[in-house]
Chain A
Amino acid sequence: MVEPLKFRDPKLAKKIATRIQNLSPPYEVKLCHVCGTHEWTITHYGLRAFLPESVDVIAGPGCPVCVVPSADIDEALSLALDGVAVVTFGDMFRVPGSSMSLQEAKAAGGDVRIVYSGGDAVKMAKEEPNKDFVFFAIGFETTAPATALEILNKPPENISFLVSHRLIPPVMELLLGVGDLHIDGFIAPGHVSTIIGMEPYKIFPEAYGMPTVIAGFEPLDVLFAVSMLLNQINDKEARLENEYRRSVTWEGNPRAKGLMEKVFEVVSGSWRGIGRVPLSTLKLKEEFSEYDARKRHNIKTGPSRDLLPGCSCHLVLIGRIKPPECKLYGEVCTPSSPRGPCMVSSEGTCQIWYKYGGRKRL
């Protein structure tokens, strides 16, 4: 950040903690974030310990690789085992599909490669013109504009895209319909919001009476967002507020949004462990079908399976339970031997809790 240390100032943190204690309502409130990096900040810095007994923060489906359905991973596996070079982000490598992960497919002779960005995948395709490449494009609104950009830059003929991008506001709306979740406020994801801006969240206060604060990722950002939400809850007035003003504006990044609109259409699609979420996934528009891996290649997959028996990732993903409430957590399911996507990914709630000792009360 511009002056990073000030956003982590322990003296300010203590003052905010006192303020949060003073704002604590006399009844239980549950605040929900939807970003793996927010969970990392909260757990790594032990921020739940700053909160009063009556305030709980739960993690929604904010881990981008955790919510990619097995069916999509199975498509990538089929391509990799069929001689196509499948290129994706490191976090996706170990996430299990229905029968194996991309890592296991590589061990079985499949061509799977890890890159830092979609641009690197295009570079690889240019360097090896006789090889077929597929970029497995996953991630939320933060990542999708980069995929759109690479497609509009007319990549070489030997690369196509297996698009599996997902949108955050529709799944937030779905969480409000989960009967026994009872969310009292949203901490909206800062980096998704740098792209989409504030406008898409206005339905939460306006239509659902849900206090919503867009927050950054320094510990003080999160604590301040919590205090802003508690203010709204005490005022009994739901508003949309922006704590992360240094990076998020009302309109977001118009150029990035424009590229997404040009290349993708929004369709309903499934999220791992959650099911079908209306108008929440991106699909390549017809005019870009030459770059659509699903159209270019003959992909064969069978019925898919999102969860292994006993895995409670579907409940962890929506914040219904905390990781230690899963009977596999820390026993048979660990980062070195993960059973479900939430323990595989460095942004999965289970892996973050396992590494940093997150508990409800420290």
Chain B
Amino acid sequence: MVFEMCLAIPAEIKEIKGNIAKVDFGGGVLREVDVSLVDAKVGEYVLVHVGYAIQVIDRKAAQETLQLWNEILQYK
């Protein structure tokens, strides 16, 4: 279990019932988190902090960031 207070960990939403979602942190084990603070759908990734999803991760922005890095670094 992670107790670090600054840390938020990405997890994929597998199932939502009311304010509680079952999420996968990557290891295949599902944990329950509170999703009251976000509008998240099944299949989306959220950042989880002390048991609460605090933001939906923007996949498109993640891919764009990686692409931008690669482009910038081509020219040093």
Measuring CB to CB, which residues of chain A are less than 8 angstroms from any residue of chain B? 1-4, 6-7, 12, 15-16, 18-19, 22, 35-38, 40, 62-65, 89-91, 116-120, 138-140, 142-143, 145-146, 149, 189, 191-192, 194-195, 217, 220, 224, 243, 245-248, 253, 255-256, 259, 346-347
Chain B contact patch, size range: 35 or more
Listed by A's residue number, 28 A-B pairs whose Cβ atoms lie within 8 Å are: A2-B10, A12-B69, A19-B76, A36-B6, A37-B7, A89-B5, A90-B1, A117-B34, A117-B50, A117-B51, A118-B50, A139-B50, A146-B37, A146-B51, A149-B36, A191-B8, A191-B54, A194-B54, A195-B54, A245-B61, A245-B64, A247-B47, A247-B55, A247-B58, A253-B55, A255-B38, A347-B5, A347-B6
Chain A, Cβ-Cβ closest to B48: A117
A226 to B62, CA, bound (A): 18
B: which residues have CB within 8 A of A?
Answer: 1, 3-8, 10, 26, 34, 36-38, 45, 47, 49-52, 54-55, 57-59, 61-66, 69-70, 72-73, 76
**Bound-state Cα–Cα, A338 to B51, Å:** 28
Cα of A12 to Cα of B38 in the assembled complex, Å: 32
Interchain CA distance A118-B54 in the complex, whole Å:
14
Q: Pick the contact of B4: A15, A36, A146 (CB < 8 A).
A: A36
What is the bound-complex CA distance between A117 and B65, given in angstroms?
A: 32
The interface residues of chain B lying within 8 Å CB-to-CB of A4 are 10, 26
Q: How far is the CB of A151 from chain B (nearest CB, A)?
A: 13
Q: Are A91 and B3 closer than 8 Å at their CB atoms?
A: yes
Q: With A and B bound together, what is the CA distance between A149 and B69 in angstroms?
A: 38
- Known pairs A37-B6, A65-B5; list 14 more (Cβ under 8 Å): A2-B57, A4-B26, A6-B66, A15-B76, A16-B73, A117-B50, A119-B52, A140-B6, A146-B34, A146-B37, A149-B37, A191-B54, A194-B8, A255-B36
For the complex, what is the distance from the CA of A195 to the CA of B56, rounded to whole Å? 11
Contacts of B6 in A (CB 8 A): 35-38, 62-64, 140, 142, 189, 191-192, 347
> Is there an interface contact between B3 and A2, defined as CB atoms closer than 8 Å?
no
Contact of A149 with B52 in the complex, beta carbons under 8 Å = yes
Are B5 and A36 within 8 A (Cβ)?
yes
* Given A247-B47, A346-B4, A117 and B76 contact (CB-CB distance below 8 Å): no
Nearest-Cβ distance from residue A34 to partner chain B, whole angstroms: 10
Q: Which residue of A lies closest to B62 (CB)?
A: A246
